[in-house]
Amino acid sequence: MIVKRRAGEVKDPVHGYIYFNEAERKLIDSLPLQRLRRVRQLAGSELTYPGACHTRFLHSLGVMHLSGLMAERLVELGYVDEDCAVKLRLAGLLHDVGHGPFSHVYEEVLRERRGLSHEDLTVKIIEGSVLRDLLRDEGFDEREVARLCVGGVEGAGKRFLNQVVVGRLSPDTMDYILRDSYFTGVGFGQVDVHRLIDSLDVIDDQLAVDCPGGLYVLEAFIIARLELFNAVYFHRTVRAANVMLSRAMSYADEYLGLTEVDDVGRFLSMDDARVEEMVLSLKEGGEAGVARELMSMYKARKLLKSTFEVVLHGDVGSIAPQLKKASVRRRLEEEVAEEAGVDPHYVIVDAPSVLSMPVHPKDGAELLVFRRGPSGREALKVTEVSPLLSSLSRFTDVVRVYTLSEHRSAVAEACGKVFSEGGLLESSSPRA
């Protein structure tokens, strides 16, 4: 085991006992990590799945644990030494310290208003907070650890390290599939990640899965992710809560500076409850009043209603990419609101920012498997060897329009007209 001198353990409902050494204990007890106890992993999902109240803190411990298992596999294969393996565990532990209140919901606002991601803030916090001093005291370079956290390792022969924490086969993905499935209770995520890790090797400086030995568990892993997206992450009521949180924070940002992240200490003071309190304290009218109303409705579980839904089918390049732009969604909201005769503040177009299927992603990269033959190991795309995953390589994304319950009929009718005129119903299935 990488953890040779144990300083303690945590009993985790997903992985069992998670052990940590003294350096890891100091990081776990620091403010940036303890803050993650107050940041829910799935934001407003608990309004639909009451058990989904788990936190980024639990997830971070799980990613550290699985990063250690994957690091042990890489040590066994001779690709890294034990010093690197220790750093990979630290990277797994710290990879989410840059998440803001309500996790990815805050990140939507951060990207829109500042052009930043939680990875940007992770680097900032590791290099500019108490984490820097703690890492230095234990003999680590905070910049090296930060690069590992966000997949920023460069240089031939080392790029596979970027996949250990943040790639599609990463401990991050493995843990959230297991953990989100467990806490929501949906049951889709019962994947043998230990077998998956033991099937990994490095081919062409990328992680790849042994075929056929590991193919079945890779298929189960990808299908579990798809099922979680359909049943949890893209669930219409889950998204109703999350778009309300997102829009409330976006409207409140002008008054509260929620995305002003230059001051690391101020950012670390914000968690879910603190931001709820800040938004509910707004007194001004206009968008501040709308932000306060949306947050009040959220806390009372008086959610906006999905009144129009478009299911987009296709492969890369055919997913109406214009809908990913906040400016385009805002224009559509105004057009729909004008057509329906309602306040545009209460018409929200929701388009997912992450593809539901990672088999055929936007950047052209694809999950790899390898097969042993007379001439050595051959790298193949997973869709070349798995008829099941090949049939799923066309993804499905959902675009929805949310509004107040009293405006559902008017907004649905307006959406049909506006979306048709904009050509957004081509290659799609509209559902009211």
pLDDT in tens, 247-277: 999 999 999 999 999 999 999 999 999 999 9
pLDDT of residue 363: 44
Token pair for 42: 């799935």
State the Cα–Cα distance between residues 184 and 43, nearest whole angstrom: 12
Average pLDDT, the chain: 90
pLDDT tops 90 at residue 190: no
C-beta contacts of 287-292 below 8 A and 24+ residues apart = 287/251, 287/252, 287/254, 287/345, 288/251, 288/252, 288/254, 288/255, 290/247, 290/248, 290/251, 290/345, 290/346, 291/247, 291/248, 291/249, 291/250, 291/251, 291/252, 291/255, 292/248, 292/252
pLDDT of residue 356: 58
Token pair for 227: 């099922």
Question: Strand 368-373 and strand 206-210: pairing?
Answer: parallel
Q: What is the DSSP letter of 46?
A: G
For 375, counting Cβ atoms within 10 Å of its Cβ (0-12 exposed, 13-18 middle, 19+ buried), the class is: exposed
Greater model confidence, 97 or 354: 97
pLDDT in tens, 117-126: 999 999 999 9
**pLDDT tier, 154 (very low <50, low <70, confident <90, very high otherwise):** confident
Buried b (16+ CB within 10 A) or exposed e, 295-323: bebbeeeebbbbbbbbebeeeeeebbeeb
Of 60, 41, 38, 56, give the one whose Cα is nearest residue 184: 41
Name the segment(s) of the chain with CATH classification 1.10.3210.10. 8-235+367-391
Q: Are 206 and 237 in contact (CB under 8 A)?
A: no
pLDDT tops 90 at residue 347: yes
Residue type, 46: E
- DSSP notation for 208-257: EEETTTTHHHHHHHHHHHHHHIIIIIT-HHHHHHHHHHHHHHHHHHHHH-
pLDDT in tens, 51-106: 999 999 999 999 999 999 999 999 999 999 999 999 999 999 999 999 999 999 99
State the Cα–Cα distance between residues 353 and 373, nearest whole angstrom: 40
CA-based torsion, 146, 151, 152, 155: positive or negative: positive
Q: How many CB atoms lie within 10 A of CB 75?
A: 16
Domain 304-357+396-432 is found in CATH 3.30.70.2760: yes
Give φ, ψ of 323 to 5 degrees.
-70, -15
What lies within 8 Å, CB to CB, of 363 at 6+ separation is none
Q: How far is CA 309 from CA 87, 94, 335, 400, in A?
A: 45, 37, 16, 4
CATH code for residues 8-235+367-391: 1.10.3210.10
State the Cα–Cα distance between residues 260 and 254, nearest whole angstrom: 10
Q: Are 218 and 369 in contact (CB under 8 A)?
A: yes
Report, as an integer, the average pLDDT of 155-184.
91
pLDDT in tens, 386-420: 888 877 766 667 889 999 999 999 999 999 999 88
pLDDT tops 50 at residue 316: no
pLDDT tops 60 at residue 360: no
Residue type, 425: L
State the Cα–Cα distance between residues 223 and 229, nearest whole angstrom: 10
Q: For the chain, give the number of residues.
A: 432
Weakest mean pLDDT among 138-152, 209-223, 342-356: 342-356
Cis peptide before 374 (omega within 30 of 0): no
Q: How many CB atoms lie within 10 A of CB 343?
A: 12
State the Cα–Cα distance between residues 231 and 239, nearest whole angstrom: 11
pLDDT of residue 390: 77
Residues of the chain with pLDDT > 90, as a percent, come to: 71
Q: What is the pTM of this model?
A: 0.93
Name the segment(s) of the chain with CATH classification 3.30.70.2760. 304-357+396-432
pLDDT tops 80 at residue 424: no
pLDDT tops 50 at residue 364: no
Weakest mean pLDDT among 40-49, 198-207, 244-253: 198-207
**pLDDT tier, 183 (very low <50, low <70, confident <90, very high otherwise):** very high
